[in-house]
Amino acid sequence: MVTKPVILTVDDDPEVLQAVARDLRRQYGDRFRVMRAESGTAALDTVQKLKLQNEPIALFLADQRMPQMGGVEFLGHAIGLYPDAKRALLTAYADTDAAIQSINIAHLDYYLLKPWDPPEERLYPVLDDLLDDWLAAFRPPFEGIRVLGHRWSPLSHQVKDFLARNQVPYQWLDVEQDHSVTTKLLECAESINSPTELPLVLFPDGTQLSQPSSLAIAEKIGLKTRAERPFYDLAIVGGGPAGLAAAVYGASEGLDTVLIERQAPGGQAGSSSRIENYLGFPVGLSGADLARRAVTQARRFGVEILTPQEVVGVDIQDTYRVLQLADGSEISCHALLVATGVSYRRLTVPGAEALTGAGIYYGAAMTEAIACQGEDVYLVGGANSAGQAAMHFSKYANQVIMLVRGASLATSMSQYLIDQIASTPNIKVCTGCSVVEVAGTDHLEKIVIANSNTGEKETVAARSLFIFIGASPKTDWLHGIVERDAQGFILTGADLLLSDGQLPKSWPLTRPPFLLETSVPGIFAAGDVRSASVKRVASGVGEGSIAVQFVHRYLANL
pLDDT > 90? residue 339: yes
- Predicted confidence (pLDDT) per residue in 340-377, tens digit: 999 999 999 999 999 999 999 998 888 899 899 999 99
19-23, 178-182, 220-224, 463-467: which range is least confident on average? Answer: 178-182
pLDDT > 60? residue 327: yes
Mean pLDDT of 455-471: 94
- Predicted confidence (pLDDT) per residue in 397-410, tens digit: 999 999 999 999 99
Q: pLDDT band at residue 257, thresholds of 50, 70 and 90?
A: very high
State residue 179's pLDDT score: 76
State residue 1's pLDDT score: 43
In order, the DSSP letters of 356-373 are: BTTTEEES-HHHHTGGGT
Range 353-467 has CATH code 3.30.1330.100 = no
Q: pLDDT band at residue 195, thresholds of 50, 70 and 90?
A: low
pLDDT > 70? residue 106: no
User: For the chain, how are helix, strand and coil distributed in percent, rounded to 5?
Assistant: 35, 25, 40
The model's pTM: 0.82
Mean pLDDT of 251-256: 97
- Predicted confidence (pLDDT) per residue in 508-536, tens digit: 999 999 999 999 999 999 999 999 999 88
State residue 514's pLDDT score: 96
Spatial CA neighbour of 466 closest among 440, 441, 444:
444
Spatial CA neighbour of 220 closest among 172, 168, 143:
168
State residue 142's pLDDT score: 80
427: β partners:
400
pLDDT > 70? residue 198: yes
Tell me which fold the domain 231-343+472-556 belongs to. Answer: FAD/NAD(P)-binding domain (3.50.50)
pLDDT > 50? residue 223: yes
Looking at the domain that runs over 6-137, which CATH code has it been given? 3.40.50.2300
In order, the DSSP letters of 141-164 are: PP-SEEEEE-TT-HHHHHHHHHHH
Q: For 493-510, give the secondary structure using H, E and C.
A: HHHHCCCCCCCCCCCCCC
**CATH 3.50.50.60 in the chain, residues?**
231-343+472-556, 353-467
**CATH 3.40.30.10 in the chain, residues?**
145-221
Mean pLDDT of 287-303: 94
- Overall residue count recorded for the chain in this entry: 558
3 state SS of 346:
coil
- Predicted confidence (pLDDT) per residue in 158-188, tens digit: 999 999 999 899 999 998 887 777 777 877 7
Range 145-221 has CATH code 3.40.50.720 = no
Spatial CA neighbour of 327 closest among 234, 228, 236, 225:
225
- Predicted confidence (pLDDT) per residue in 414-434, tens digit: 999 999 999 999 999 999 999
Distance of alpha carbon 324 from alpha carbon 331, whole angstroms: 7
**CATH 3.40.50.2300 in the chain, residues?**
6-137
**Portion of the chain with pLDDT greater than 90, in percent:** 73
